[in-house]
Every structure is written in structure tokens, then in C-alpha cells.
Amino acid sequence: RFRFQVYITSTFTSASFCGPVLGGWLVSHAHWRWLFILYLPMSAFAFWRLAKLAPGARHPEQLKTLDMGGIALFAIAASTGLYWLTSGGRHFPWVSAISACLLLASLGFFAWLYRQQRAQSNPFLAIDLLRDPAMSRLMLATALFSAAMFSLIFYLPIYLQLGYRLSASDSGLLLLPLTTGTVIGSIGTGKFA
């Protein structure tokens, strides 16, 4: 387990430092489409490494009882809710038939919650876990951390490029303090936990 934790930590660290800098440099000196072309050899390497792993134990009895309804309800509710929140007011008016349909579809989240509470075996997400105070605090902290981190990662480069008229490579370099803090914080909290 320790060896794989080292692999994960080193990959996370190198991706955090190299990703914004290399991506900014490619966008500034080539074209943004090269970012997708760069993923091809990395994906081939990842698939090759996954193929080298020893096969794990199979549990066919659990695969037969997957909560496909819960999975479908969650996917529909999450994707329509996200599309409604990000596209409302831009691609369609907030008060319109499209907006009402998307809002109703995103309310399928409550149907999903109801289904998860009633699922007999293998629910998509065991709601009982969220009743545990330690787990609910952990989930809240994870949600707040993710919201802060991803909003900074996505918003800050755009702000630097549009607000300060910096190049993509310069904004990638200016993301290094953020990624350095994230890596140090992740490693530090991992050691204290």
C-alpha cells in the first residue's frame, strides 16, 4: 500500500506542477488543440500500466445486483442540474420552458435520494454513511475544498489572461503558488491524519 501511495503522490505532485506550465506553454507557442493530442501518449502509457497490474478478485454476485436505477437517476439529476445552472440566462432565459424542464429533471435528485434510502442491496450510495457525524463532516469539508480548489484552478488563469492580459504560459507559471500550496497541504494533512 505504501508503494502505491508514493506512486499516487508523485503523480499528483508532478501533474500539479507540470500541468499548468506545460499547458500554458503549449497554448502560447502552438495551439490549444495540442493539449488533447498530448493526452494520447499519456493515455496509452496509463492503459499499458493498467494492463500490467495483476487481476483483482471478481465478485459476480455483486455485479448482478447493481443499482442501475440509482445510477441513472443520479446521472440525469447531476447533468441536468449542472447544465441548468451553467447555461441559464445565457443560452436560454431563466423563466422559460427549457429552464423549467431542466429544473424538473434536476429535481430527480430527490427521487434518487428516496431510492437510495429504500435500496435493499448494493445501493449506488449508502445514505446511512452520511448519518455518521464523522462522515458527514468529512463530506462537507471535501465539498468545500473541491469547490474552492476547482473554482481557483478554472477561474484564475482566465482572470490572469483577460484581466491582466498575460499570456497562457505566464498564467500557467503564476498558478505554481496555488499548486504548491495544494501539494504541501495535501501531503501535510496526510501525515497528520
pLDDT tens digits, one per residue of 33-69: 888 888 899 899 989 988 888 776 666 565 566 778 7
How distant is the alpha carbon of residue 87 from its chain centre? Answer: 19
Does the CA dihedral 155-158-162-166 come out positive or negative? positive
Does the CA dihedral 16-20-23-29 come out positive or negative? negative
- Tell me the mean pLDDT in the region 123-129: 77
- Tell me the mean pLDDT in the region 7-31: 79
Look at residue 174 and tell me whether its pLDDT is greater than 70: yes
pLDDT at 57: 63
pLDDT at 193: 59
Dist CA 92 CA 101 (whole Å): 12
pLDDT band at 72 (very low <50, low <70, confident <90, very high): confident
Q: Which residues contact 99 (CB under 8 A, 6 or more apart)?
A: 84, 88, 92, 93
pLDDT at 182: 77
The neighbouring-strand residues paired with 48 are none
Look at residue 151 and tell me whether its pLDDT is greater than 80: yes
Look at residue 190 and tell me whether its pLDDT is greater than 70: no
Structure-block grid coordinates of residue 167: 499570456
- Tell me the mean pLDDT in the region 126-135: 82
3-state secondary structure the chain: CHHHHHHHHHHHHHHHHHHHHHHHHHHHHCCCCHHHHHHHHHHHHHHHHHHHCCCCCCCHHHHCCCCHHHHHHHHHHHHHHHHHHHHECCCECCCCHHHHHHHHHHCHHHHHHHHHHHCCCCCCCCCHHHHCHHHHHHHHHHHHHHHHHHHHHHHHHHHHHHHCCCCHHHHHHHCHHHHHHHHHHHHHHHHHC
pLDDT at 89: 92
- Centre a 10 Å sphere on the Cβ of residue 28 and count the other Cβ atoms it contains: 16
Q: Is the pTM of this model over 0.75?
A: no
pLDDT band at 88 (very low <50, low <70, confident <90, very high): very high
pLDDT at 58: 65
Look at residue 92 and tell me whether its pLDDT is greater than 90: yes
